[in-house]
């Protein structure tokens, strides 16, 4: 399909393990965003890429979280030494230009469960 694709859709991991979450944005979209949505809450911003560079990483909660977008398309969110509090749905979105009035298209998310 032509939408934002996130893999895996579900991930269960043990506390302390390392995980990678992948986002494949809509082709041609230069802006890519990661959000985290805890149960019963609205999504919280994590990081924003414009092209290959992280334009705003102010939402990353700590240095266990890191994201890359090496070729300006696919992005990977990496979480080291996972904790139970990291359990949430991780949403990826992309937009054509990253402008303030530009519609962001979201993927269906990766549900991460840390046991």
User: What residues line the site for another protein (CB under 8 A)?
Assistant: 31, 33, 35, 40-45, 48, 50, 55-56, 89, 91, 93, 95, 98-109
Residue 82 vs 95, nearer CB to another protein: 95
Least Cα distance to 77 among 54, 99, 97 occurs for: 54
Residue 43 vs 86, nearer CB to another protein: 43
Least Cα distance to 93 among 110, 78, 71 occurs for: 110
Residue 33 vs 65, nearer CB to another protein: 33
Minimum CB distance to another protein, residue 81 (Å): 26
Residue 109 vs 114, nearer CB to another protein: 109
Per the CB < 8 A criterion, the answer to whether 77 and 33 are in contact is: no
Per the CB < 8 A criterion, the answer to whether 19 and 111 are in contact is: no
Minimum CB distance to another protein, residue 79 (Å): 19
């Amino acid at each position: 399909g032509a939408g934002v694709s996130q893999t895996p859709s579900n991930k269960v991991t043990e506390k302390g393990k390392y995980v990678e979450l992948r986002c494949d944005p809509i082709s041609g979209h230069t802006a890519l965003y990661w959000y985290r949505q805890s149960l019963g809450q609205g999504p919280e911003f994590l990081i924003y890429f414009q092209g290959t560079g992280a334009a705003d990483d102010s939402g990353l909660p700590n240095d266990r979280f890191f994201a890359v977008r090496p070729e300006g398309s696919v992005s990977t969110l990496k979480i080291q030494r996972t904790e139970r509090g990291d359990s949430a749905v991780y949403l990826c979105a992309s937009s054509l230009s990253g402008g303030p009035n530009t519609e962001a298209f979201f993927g269906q998310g990766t549900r991460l469960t840390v046991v």
